[in-house]
Amino acid sequence: MSIQKIYSLQTLPIELIHRIFDQLDIQTIIFSIRSACKLFYSITNTYNRYALVFRYMSKSDLLLIARIIDPKNVISLTLSDENETHSEIQFFFSHFHIDQFIRLRSLTLFYIEYEDLEKFQKHIMKYPLKKFSISSNVLGSNNIATSLSAILSYHDFQKFEFDGSENILNEIQWPVSCGLEHVTIAQWYSWSTVYFVLSHLPFLRTLVLKDDSAGISFKETIVTQYDIKQLCHLSSLSLNSRYNITTNNMRSLLVHLRMLTHLRLIGQQPLTDSLLFDGFQWENIIETKLPSLNKFEFWFSKHLYHYEDVTAVESIMTSFQTSFWLETKCWFVKCDYVENKYCRQLYLYSTPIYRYSFDYLDGENTILYSTTNNINNNATIIVNTQRLSLDLNKLMTKDIQQNTNRKMQYLFQNVRELTLMIGHQWSMGSIEYLSRILNLSNLEIICLHCQHGSKVDTHGLDAEMDTLFKHTSNLRSFQMNCNNFERMASISLNGICLKLPSFIKHLSTDIMHMSDAKMILERVEHLSSVTFYRHDPYDFANEIIIWLRQHERDSLSSIFMA
């Protein structure tokens, strides 16, 4: 008879336990594992790869961690001065000695002001940083640009992420022979900015451009203003654009990027260049300008004229059914013919789908026809997205109708923020169905958006919420939009808001009465910030101020009325 060995976490080598810690957040390590036994207490004290993410942490938890964690054991730090975490950076400065983070390799600062950045600048030169991320809501600041220039010049970063004003970006003085290899720009406003950045980064390998919100058109003369020979090392380009994707734009840019192995083009708005939807055109561009390309991801949409029917889809798909697409590259493409009450649109995209934000079945759109260049037209579509919006009832109904074998039509990966549209009713089993199409444990933010006339069974909702919270241990923010519907607001208060688990730190919700707000503040004590939505927020603000003066809440850092 064989003897079955039973292993537990306590029997594992310390280094292996530390590797497990690498995959856990600091709250789990400190507040759950550390207190389990003396062995784990000792192991957590010797762990030296902590990642401090204070973006979703209450002030009381931050104080505890400040007393427990040695800054020398921290390799990653994230701070935020967003509305939900207002003044967090100042609070951090008052409880940590920033000069002691001598092993810090990654620093992320959300919505930082110049004064706080200046404090970091004095010590940041001592850190062995490899990644630096910064976002600032200051529209223009020479001071911030000056600080960033100094930080970049003193550090041999590998990764740099920037989200802020174009004025700040253009004022940065890039060091000679800057060694950056990976750059992400959250907002890009013109092609001049793109070429300016590229011309100063001779070792750049990956460039991500997330949003061109200004819509400035491409000009060929821009290319000649910069030394673009340095772009030869770029191997990956991701471009999210509202306006700037045309075949002419792409030809002018890609001719200088012959070493590209990965190209991602996401059109955020309907496009007007019909050649973008021509597989023969893309085949020519790739074969003549991008000989090394082995991964091509895209998402394009366009408005259809009233006389264009589903035959337009078939015509487009024919151009993507050549041996180049199906055999040489093995790239699969799907096309949807979509209708809503305003217009008809065509969506053309590669699979799997890669989009930062994905809105599927928003309640208005109906897919009339869909086809692919792949033989298996019913294959499950993988969607990689961080922000997902779903009309859950509609998606469930669609899957039940089209998949008698219960195979999921869509699987969503890497979702961090989920918005669920609640229609006329909340279907029982919705959360169980949801768990089959995405990993609930990855979620950090959930928003429930109720339509007028939503009918929700209170008992059923309790069970559904219990199931949801059991599977979302990383959830930090919960948002409830009742659309000023009083019955739904009452159900939300008693069935959701007053039953939030302790790991949720931020709540945003409609309130109908001041007593509802007071009840939430008194009973849900683990919240670090709350936002109440009212049609008359100023009248409620004074009562909230009076309540705060009468009640001390160490964990509560901010309350907003909107």
Question: What is the full DSSP assignment across 53-105?
Answer: E-TT--HHHHHHHHHH--GGGEEEEEEE-SGGGTTHHHHHHHH--GGG-TT--
| Residue 290: other Cβ atoms inside 10 A | 19
In this structure, whether the domain defined by 380-562 belongs to CATH 3.80.10 is answered with: yes
CA-based R_g, the chain, Å: 26
Helix or strand or coil: residue 109?
A: strand
Q: Are strands 381-384 and 445-450 parallel, antiparallel or unpaired?
A: unpaired
**163: β partners:** 135
pTM of the model: 0.85
Those residues whose C-beta lies under 8 Å from the C-beta of residue 232, and which sit 6 or more positions away, are 256, 257, 258, 259
Domain ranges of the chain: 1-47, 380-562
The rounded distance, in Å, linking the Cα atoms of 434 and 430 is 6
DSSP 8-class letter at 455: B
* Sign of the torsion formed by the C-alpha atoms of 137, 143, 148 and 151: negative
pLDDT at position 305, please? Answer: 80
pLDDT per residue rounded down to tens, the chain (562 residues): 444 544 577 888 999 999 999 999 898 899 889 988 999 999 999 999 999 988 777 778 888 999 999 999 999 999 988 766 667 888 888 888 888 999 999 999 988 888 888 888 878 777 888 999 998 876 556 788 888 888 888 777 899 999 988 788 888 888 877 889 999 998 776 777 777 777 888 889 999 988 755 554 444 444 555 556 555 689 999 988 876 688 888 888 888 888 999 999 998 888 888 899 999 999 999 999 999 999 999 999 998 887 778 888 889 999 999 999 999 999 999 999 888 778 888 999 999 999 888 887 655 677 888 889 887 777 788 999 999 998 877 777 666 555 544 455 789 999 999 998 876 667 778 888 899 999 999 999 999 888 765 566 556 677 888 889 999 988 999 998 877 666 677 777 777 887 888 888 888 888 877 888 888 888 888 888 888 887 766 667 777 777 777 776 655 656 665 5
Tens-place pLDDT, residues 421-459: 876 667 778 888 899 999 999 999 999 888 765 566 556
